[in-house]
A and B are shown apart, each in its own frame.
Chain A
């Protein structure tokens, strides 16, 4: 659909847009971010200025970005999708040459006061371009191999660049996010079945080749897999962080140890306690009640996004909404699986809660797209 097809009269304009903002979503996001402020205050040992205050400022800025993006009509963003994707690919290439490395493998570019992580940006622009692609594509061609290879290439380009950094977590999020858009656009089950079978076969091959002549991985790589599967086998080495995270989480019990009373985080047993492992502190200090409540908040965000998407008759809008919701889901699901010892430690932050500017702003901009889709939905 081109913008000419929208029944412009029914789309709110000017100040009326404020009424049509998906307000429950705004409330939910604010609630989640507030949990983050509380935890950042706690892990800093009761000091606001260390992490909580910058995070609050960023969130307020993020809200501004969200409303700004949200008030701009969705067709404007759709027309911008190709450009945005191209820009993030350029940035990903540029960061290879000019970027600074920090915190493991994530790379960023200093743009004046803003520290931009192109890989964060790529997650959203990839979803945007794919949604725009399927909006453009003749629906009947959706499952034809040639027309499937194009989005696969669109996904693989940034994924390979990010993998080279090497940032496994972001690469996974890119692939999952892209795959979800393809899936929702209606690409045949067979393709997904084939990919799943291929992956399953590869994993079986890797595991069964161990100890044979044609062993596919190096011994140390297998040991890493062992550690992942059973962290207690190496409690002071690679498994140390995950063991400590599990101890923190489990020791929270039903109601937790109380605000600022978490011994695991306060005594530095937890790694990255203000970023990737912040969930463990929440679980330790507020117990199952607190951890589960956050999970419900996240789930409600998903529910509102999905409901907004399936009510939206605009193909681009609903695909973008679903793609972003899925990316958001992968964020928190992988993070939680990781700290609970169900997934390897890949370095994915807990969205809106972990300390970090780049991901917060990009995420808020993405929710801006969802708001825009919601506000400007065809009626």
Chain B
């Protein structure tokens, strides 16, 4: 419409005023924007820069290679093997389920693994998901070749623990496993390494007791990550320190022999070098394959192990506490000799039983032994002789002698569940049972029954101390990173050499006199001759009524009611080098069952390879040869013979 010039002019002026006002307001806002920029980018720049670095830089730990465990000659017991696994990055995969389905056509992926991977994918963690672990090279190659069809999937290589001599060292070295919440709870300041996925720590045995030595120090790398946590590039890297290598005192081949020799019995045996306490072999049977635990044992496999009445998971050599039976008689004898209540020629009449305090205690030989001195009492294992001298010397002296010899004392070697055993005395009974010690207790203790409990390791230490006259302490770690662990010269046993000699002579007769309980398990080679002592410990009470009916022989009893068979020995008699102790649970008679095993152990320790047949009595050589053929032993590289593999 037409307007007057005045109107037009006025309206233009108004537009100008309002336009300028508008411009001014805009400029004010721009000033606010500029000020805000200045505030954020200059005043707060350092703060935001830090936040940006926090966003972008992530410290990732590099797990160190775990230290190796070798035997005394450097043969591998626990090592690390390269382990291929396939991981999937949720971010790059798109549809994880699709990719997994395609991948299960290439790899054996169990339904459980599939489910687990899907579950992790739903958790939307930026970390890659492990789809399949412990793959062989072929499987990994298949994945690599098909990479275009498998977005987000990549093979990875890591180290995992392997025990090449699987069952031989299960109880000694133990195994490693993933870090559990209870493992973490035990530590005040857990190594951050423990929280890295798939990290494994020692669970039992040397692996756990030497954990700090074996673990090493983690390295780290500073990496740049994107918003979903994927590594874009490495900014810096600091290598860690690999764990220290450990050399055990054990001879892997002797250990293998010992384990094979115990076979499927529920048994344990220890061989100690009497000169320095080195444990040459420490075996517990039956055993299990620790590699199963590293890989993650299945429920069914685990149930098989726990339901077995021979308890393969129990480390009987240090954990098992058994009444030592007649193998304890040396302790009683030494206590009495040291106290001066008897001498080597003191004789006691054995009518087959012993009456004291209104009770009748029987000798194992119902007809009695007649008059016996110390040597004959040991040789024929006369119980009455030890009842008599024990009552003369008293339990406290016996307990003191026992402790001197290493019984009732914890021997600190890096293995799990080591028992203290039990060396009872008057004080102990009062504290434990609030009852006075009675004569019957002493009588029982004198022949290693009643309260006395010992582990095979303790029995081996006892034998080593009797053989050497020194307070040798057992040692399991030979060296760490080839630096030998110091061995202090063992102090003298504080027992008269003359008394020890008398006891050793008795033990010699056990194995070498025709009347000795261990005569059939003798060593014929004059240079290697063995001295020993048998023991048969009851696991049940024999009532008077049963005794009247006639004691049921072991063969007619159910397995778990039979006596434990024990034997301790050392060789060569003239210059003792090795001591051994063997317990066969519910094995029956110590001399018949455990004796031959101790002999074989000692011969094996003294020879290079299988014991020579010439060391055995001529009449037994055929049988021994057959037994040798049946033993499934490893070759020099630690491999089992082809035929034995399932």
Within 8 A of B (CB), among A33-81: none
Chain B residues near A186 (CB, 8 Å)?
11, 14-15, 18
Establish whether residues A246 and B48, one from each chain, have CB atoms under 8 Å apart when the complex forms: yes
Chain B residues near A319 (CB, 8 Å)?
15
Establish whether residues A291 and B19, one from each chain, have CB atoms under 8 Å apart when the complex forms: no
Chain B residues near A309 (CB, 8 Å)?
15, 19
Within 8 A of B (CB), among A243-296: 244, 246-254, 263-264, 267-269, 283, 287-288, 291-292, 295
Which chain B residue shows the least CB distance to A328?
B26
Which chain A residue shows the least CB distance to B4?
A139
Chain A residues near B29 (CB, 8 Å)?
329, 333
B10 lies within 8 A of chain A by Cβ: yes
Establish whether residues A322 and B52, one from each chain, have CB atoms under 8 Å apart when the complex forms: no
B341 lies within 8 A of chain A by Cβ: no
Question: How far apart sit A303 and B225, CA to CA, in the bound complex (Å)?
Answer: 44
Known: A254-B42, A267-B226, A313-B12. A299 touches B37 (CB 8 A): no
A326 lies within 8 A of chain B by Cβ: yes
Question: Among A247, A268, A329, which residue has its beta carbon within 8 angstroms of that of B26?
Answer: A329
Establish whether residues A264 and B23, one from each chain, have CB atoms under 8 Å apart when the complex forms: no
Q: Whole-angstrom distance from the CB of B552 to the nearest CB of chain A? A: 75
Establish whether residues A333 and B33, one from each chain, have CB atoms under 8 Å apart when the complex forms: yes
Question: Among A140, A267, A288, which residue has its beta carbon within 8 angstroms of that of B38?
Answer: A288
Chain B residues near A126 (CB, 8 Å)?
none
Interface centre among B8, B12, B33, B47, by most A CB within 10 Å? B33
Which chain B residue shows the least CB distance to A136?
B1
Chain A residues near B11 (CB, 8 Å)?
139, 186, 315
A302 lies within 8 A of chain B by Cβ: yes
User: Contact string, B9-45, partner A, CB cutoff 8 A, digits 1/0?
Assistant: 0111011101110110011011011101110111011
Q: Whole-angstrom distance from the CB of A329 to the nearest CB of chain B? A: 5
Chain B residues near A194 (CB, 8 Å)?
none
B227 lies within 8 A of chain A by Cβ: yes
Establish whether residues B19 and A247, one from each chain, have CB atoms under 8 Å apart when the complex forms: no
Question: Among B23, B37, B55, which residue has its beta carbon within 8 angstroms of that of A269?
Answer: B55
Chain B residues near A149 (CB, 8 Å)?
none
Size of interface on A: residues with Cβ below 8 Å to B: 51
Establish whether residues A263 and B224, one from each chain, have CB atoms under 8 Å apart when the complex forms: yes
Within 8 A of B (CB), among A302-321: 302-303, 306, 309-310, 313, 315, 318-319
A92 lies within 8 A of chain B by Cβ: no
B645 lies within 8 A of chain A by Cβ: no
Establish whether residues A268 and B15, one from each chain, have CB atoms under 8 Å apart when the complex forms: no
B228 lies within 8 A of chain A by Cβ: yes
Known: A247-B51, A295-B33, A302-B26. A310 touches B41 (CB 8 A): no
Establish whether residues A295 and B34, one from each chain, have CB atoms under 8 Å apart when the complex forms: yes
Question: How far apart sit A306 and B48, CA to CA, in the bound complex (Å)?
Answer: 37
User: Contact string, B205-226, partner A, CB cutoff 8 A, digits 1/0?
Assistant: 0000000000000000000111
Establish whether residues A295 and B30, one from each chain, have CB atoms under 8 Å apart when the complex forms: yes
Question: How far apart sit A147 and B227, CA to CA, in the bound complex (Å)?
Answer: 54
Chain A residues near B367 (CB, 8 Å)?
none
Establish whether residues A139 and B7, one from each chain, have CB atoms under 8 Å apart when the complex forms: yes
Question: Among B8, B41, B44, B225, which residue has its beta carbon within 8 angstroms of that of A283?
Answer: B41
Establish whether residues B19 and A322, one from each chain, have CB atoms under 8 Å apart when the complex forms: yes
Known: A185-B15, A337-B33. A263 touches B56 (CB 8 A): yes
Question: How far apart sit A283 and B34, CA to CA, in the bound complex (Å)?
Answer: 12
Q: Whole-angstrom distance from the CB of A126 to the nearest CB of chain B? A: 17
Chain A residues near B55 (CB, 8 Å)?
244, 247, 263-264, 267, 269
Establish whether residues A184 and B19, one from each chain, have CB atoms under 8 Å apart when the complex forms: yes
Question: How far apart sit A246 and B225, CA to CA, in the bound complex (Å)?
Answer: 19
Question: How far apart sit A319 and B32, CA to CA, in the bound complex (Å)?
Answer: 26
Establish whether residues A315 and B12, one from each chain, have CB atoms under 8 Å apart when the complex forms: yes
Known: A138-B1, A139-B3, A139-B7. A250 touches B40 (CB 8 A): yes
Which chain A residue shows the least CB distance to B45?
A253
Establish whether residues A1 and B19, one from each chain, have CB atoms under 8 Å apart when the complex forms: no
A199 lies within 8 A of chain B by Cβ: no
B232 lies within 8 A of chain A by Cβ: yes
Establish whether residues A251 and B226, one from each chain, have CB atoms under 8 Å apart when the complex forms: no
Chain B residues near A247 (CB, 8 Å)?
48, 51-52, 55
A183 lies within 8 A of chain B by Cβ: yes
Question: How far apart sit A283 and B49, CA to CA, in the bound complex (Å)?
Answer: 12
Establish whether residues A333 and B48, one from each chain, have CB atoms under 8 Å apart when the complex forms: no
Establish whether residues B15 and A322, one from each chain, have CB atoms under 8 Å apart when the complex forms: yes
Which chain B residue shows the least CB distance to A256?
B41
Question: Among A140, A248, A306, which residue has its beta carbon within 8 angstroms of that of B20?
Answer: A306
Chain B residues near A132 (CB, 8 Å)?
none
Interface centre among B22, B29, B30, by most A CB within 10 Å? B22
Establish whether residues A267 and B41, one from each chain, have CB atoms under 8 Å apart when the complex forms: no
Establish whether residues B26 and A340, one from each chain, have CB atoms under 8 Å apart when the complex forms: no
Chain A residues near B52 (CB, 8 Å)?
247-248, 251, 263-264
Chain A residues near B42 (CB, 8 Å)?
253-254, 288
Establish whether residues B22 and A322, one from each chain, have CB atoms under 8 Å apart when the complex forms: yes
Chain B residues near A139 (CB, 8 Å)?
3, 7, 10-11
Establish whether residues B232 and A342, one from each chain, have CB atoms under 8 Å apart when the complex forms: no
Chain A residues near B27 (CB, 8 Å)?
299, 302
Question: Among A264, A269, A298, A315, which residue has its beta carbon within 8 angstroms of that of B15?
Answer: A315
Question: Among B15, B37, B224, B225, which residue has its beta carbon within 8 angstroms of that of A340?
Answer: B37
Chain A residues near B16 (CB, 8 Å)?
310
Known: A184-B19, A303-B23. A295 touches B224 (CB 8 A): no
Chain B residues near A140 (CB, 8 Å)?
7
Chain B residues near A315 (CB, 8 Å)?
8, 11-12, 15
Question: How far apart sit A246 and B317, CA to CA, in the bound complex (Å)?
Answer: 66
Establish whether residues B56 and A1, one from each chain, have CB atoms under 8 Å apart when the complex forms: no
Q: Whole-angstrom distance from the CB of A195 to the nearest CB of chain B? A: 15
User: Contact string, A92-134, partner B, CB cutoff 8 A, digits 1/0?
Assistant: 0000000000000000000000000000000000000000000
A171 lies within 8 A of chain B by Cβ: no
Which chain B residue shows the least CB distance to A299?
B30
Establish whether residues B36 and A342, one from each chain, have CB atoms under 8 Å apart when the complex forms: yes
Question: Among A291, A333, A337, which residue has its beta carbon within 8 angstroms of that of B41?
Answer: A291
Question: How far apart sit A139 and B1, CA to CA, in the bound complex (Å)?
Answer: 11
A336 lies within 8 A of chain B by Cβ: yes
Within 8 A of B (CB), among A234-250: 244, 246-250
Q: Whole-angstrom distance from the CB of A249 to the nearest CB of chain B? A: 6
Question: How far apart sit A329 and B45, CA to CA, in the bound complex (Å)?
Answer: 27
A370 lies within 8 A of chain B by Cβ: no
Which chain A residue shows the least CB distance to B55?
A269
Which chain B residue shows the least CB distance to A253?
B45
Question: How far apart sit A73 and B307, CA to CA, in the bound complex (Å)?
Answer: 99
Question: How far apart sit A20 and B37, CA to CA, in the bound complex (Å)?
Answer: 36
Chain B residues near A350 (CB, 8 Å)?
none
Chain B residues near A303 (CB, 8 Å)?
23
Chain B residues near A1 (CB, 8 Å)?
3, 8
Q: Whole-angstrom distance from the CB of B235 to the nearest CB of chain A? A: 11
Question: How far apart sit A303 and B24, CA to CA, in the bound complex (Å)?
Answer: 10
Known: A186-B14, A251-B52, A267-B55. A292 touches B34 (CB 8 A): yes
A352 lies within 8 A of chain B by Cβ: no
Which chain B residue shows the least CB distance to A137?
B1
Question: Among A246, A299, A302, A310, which residue has its beta carbon within 8 angstroms of that of B40?
Answer: A246
Which chain A residue shows the least CB distance to B14?
A186
Chain A residues near B19 (CB, 8 Å)?
184, 306, 309-310, 318, 322
The 10 A-B residue pairs with the shortest CB-CB distance in the complex, in nearest-first order: A250-B48, A251-B52, A253-B45, A288-B41, A267-B226, A268-B227, A310-B16, A251-B48, A306-B23, A250-B40
Give 15 A-B pairs besides A249-B37, A309-B19, A337-B33 with Cβ atoms closer than 8 angstroms: A244-B227, A247-B48, A254-B41, A254-B42, A263-B52, A263-B56, A263-B224, A267-B226, A267-B232, A268-B228, A287-B41, A298-B30, A306-B23, A313-B8, A322-B22
27 contacts between A and B (CB under 8 A): A138-B1, A186-B11, A244-B227, A247-B48, A250-B49, A250-B51, A252-B41, A253-B42, A264-B55, A269-B227, A283-B37, A287-B41, A291-B41, A295-B34, A299-B27, A302-B23, A302-B26, A303-B23, A306-B22, A309-B15, A309-B19, A310-B16, A322-B19, A326-B22, A326-B26, A329-B29, A333-B26
